[in-house]
Structure 1
Amino acid sequence: MLKGLAFGSTVTRVAIAHSVVRPLTTTVPRWSGHNKWSTIKHDKMKNDSAKNKVINKYVNQIMVAIKLKDTRLQAIIDTAMKGNVPKKVIDNAIKKASGAGATEGAINIYEGMGPGGVALIIETQTDNKNRTVALVRSHFTKSNLNLLSMGSSMHYFDKVGHIVVTYPQPEGSEPVDEGTIFDKIIEVEGVEDFEKIEAPEDESATGPEYIILTEPSMTNKVAKELQDSYGFEVTEANIGYQPKSEMQVDLSQNEDIRNAFNRFIDGLREIDDVTEVYSNETQ
């Protein structure tokens, strides 16, 4: 299963020729007087803190992408804007990263085993490698886990090109049927596999998304053809890691380990320098 799918999503897989192998609820008592407002203020502070974490994460990704001349820069900016990061904040990040004296950035990959023996690949973008590795290692240590040497987890995955697209449905016109959209994707040279991702019913969406896999070297070419020749809107195009199907780990039979794993992954993703976390856990 592809990583990064939203909880509650419905997935339709379509294999092409040589397919790639692969809440805690709390009850707040109804206090009277000033206690009520203390609770509201506390909740607002938590919400503001969470919002600032999201903004800081995007700002860091944008700045490092500029320093690296990363081709994914526009996709990162677009995603930040969809995540309600103010345009002024984005512009300031671009200006700061492009200015004289800006430090260099780097992409670093770390490997490890998470709770339940799940293989992990952690991708980071950073302008301070020592800070980043210390944060990632500390998170592993707190869970009595260790980072592993390069290559220890890599053999559980295939390196693939990963493209996310939508097909615009003009308002007021006859919608394009799904079969036609599938045909358009299949016609593009270099597409090896794709999945349709339906958004949960309680989430607003412009339409279904399609996650397309290709050879890493073909990623930009396939994305450009999908957009320029077939009318798709490309919302993401990058190179990542897909777990090999015969090496996936199922944690569904042990709720405690599954919960521990989810908490561990959530903690990794809260680190500003972490841009992607890949695992071979079945979703």
Structure 2
Amino acid sequence: MSGHSKWATIKHKKGKEDAKRGKLFAKLSRAIMVAARNGSNPDMNAALANAIEKARSYSMPADNIDRAIKKGAGELGAVTYEELTYEGFGPAGVAIMVDVMTDNRNRTAADVRHIFTKYGGNLGASGSVGWMFDRKGIVAVDKSHPIGEDELFTLAVEAGAEDMTGEDDQWQITTDPTELNFVRNIIEKHGIPIALAEIAMVPKNPVKLDKEEAMKVLRFVDVLEDNDDVQDVYSNFDIPAEVLEELAGS
């Protein structure tokens, strides 16, 4: 598993107990609303299904989810958000992709540019780093579950997964984005808990960082993610698991 995927799992665990849960729920609601513009039935709308499952993984109340779906579908008034992606380079030269949902493009652009500049990064043009990533579905399963590697691999591949790799304490199953929900559901139906399931931009060639570089990069990523309009931040960094655990606990 790449260091970035490990970091995503750590953040997911912390997010369930996050003191800023209100802000987190607001971002999750926004993602649901935007997805629901293309249909309020998750069985017919994969993007909505993914957004709902992500919200549930953070224990977002069902009423909040239902309200977000209705807002996105126009049942509770018009909602206008624009989806944008900013690309550039952060500290230590790592590639950065920032997905946002905003009702004010100029405000968000200024905020993102300011963060890049303040933390030693450079905001680039569209496409400047996107070629360094592949869009994939990711399902992570803790190795603490008694299922064997071969059995899990067979189950995942038969469900439609592309590959499975292992590192440290988790198995990472990779899927085509359109197959994420189906693969996740099959695994869960076999009584196997999912540690993380999401669509992400997976780096083709991760950049290894030492502890000092990791501290700067993770601080930069945290500030980006704290912005109200930022939904997701992806990078091609690779940080050793022990360093990630240490920094996550600090």
Q: Same fold (TM over 0.5)?
A: yes
Residues 115-150 of structure 1: per-residue CA shift (max 9 Å, x gap): 111111112233443333233222223324331111
Q: Residue type of the partner of 2:21?
A: K
In structure 1, what is the equivalent of residue 13 of structure 2? Answer: none
Contact 2:224 2:230 in 1 (8 A): yes
How far residue 57 of structure 1 moved from its aligned partner, in angstroms, is 1.9
How far residue 262 of structure 1 moved from its aligned partner, in angstroms, is 1.1
Matching residue within 135, 147, 152 for 1:181: 152
Q: Does 1:213 align with 2:189?
A: no
Contact 2:35 2:47 in 1 (8 A): yes
Q: Residue type of the partner of 1:249?
A: V
Contact 2:138 2:197 in 1 (8 A): yes
How far residue 213 of structure 1 moved from its aligned partner, in angstroms, is 2.2
Structure (1 or 2) with the larger CA radius of gyration: 1
Q: Residue type of the partner of 1:122?
A: V
How far residue 64 of structure 1 moved from its aligned partner, in angstroms, is 2.0
Q: Residue type of the partner of 2:107?
A: R
Give me the CA root mean square deviation: 3.5
Q: How many residues align?
A: 221
SS in 2 for 1:72: helix
* 2: CA distance, partners of 1:90 / 1:223: 18
User: Using a 3 Å threshold, how does the CA distance of structure 1 residues 131 and 87 change in structure 2: closer, same or farther?
Assistant: farther
Task: Say which structure is richer in helix.
Answer: 2
How far residue 160 of structure 1 moved from its aligned partner, in angstroms, is 3.2
Q: Does 1:108 align with 2:68?
A: no
SS in 2 for 1:59: helix
Q: Does 1:147 align with 2:123?
A: yes
* 2: CA distance, partners of 1:146 / 1:52: 30
Q: Does 1:73 align with 2:55?
A: no
SS in 2 for 1:151: coil
User: Using a 3 Å threshold, how does the CA distance of structure 1 residues 227 and 86 change in structure 2: closer, same or farther?
Assistant: closer
In structure 2, what is the equivalent of residue 24 of structure 1? Answer: none
How far residue 68 of structure 1 moved from its aligned partner, in angstroms, is 5.0
The alignment-based identity, stated in percent, is 32
TM-score normalised to the size of structure 2? 0.70
Q: Residue type of the partner of 1:120?
A: I
TM-score normalised to the size of structure 1? 0.63
Q: Does 1:224 align with 2:224?
A: no
Q: Does 1:244 align with 2:199?
A: no
Contact 2:85 2:98 in 1 (8 A): yes
Contact 1:68 1:105 in 2 (8 A): no
* 2: CA distance, partners of 1:224 / 1:112: 33
How far residue 260 of structure 1 moved from its aligned partner, in angstroms, is 1.6
Instruction: Give unmatched runs, 5+ long, in structure 2.
Output: 11-17, 40-44, 240-250
* 2: CA distance, partners of 1:273 / 1:91: 21
Contact 2:3 2:237 in 1 (8 A): no
How far residue 273 of structure 1 moved from its aligned partner, in angstroms, is 2.6
User: Using a 3 Å threshold, how does the CA distance of structure 1 residues 249 and 6 change in structure 2: closer, same or farther?
Assistant: closer
In structure 2, what is the equivalent of residue 15 of structure 1? Answer: none
* 2: CA distance, partners of 1:8 / 1:166: 10
Matches within 5 A, 1:70-149: 71-99=46-74, 101-149=77-125
Contact 1:61 1:273 in 2 (8 A): no
Q: Residue type of the partner of 1:260?
A: K
* 1: CA distance, partners of 2:108 / 2:185: 35
* 1: CA distance, partners of 2:162 / 2:80: 35
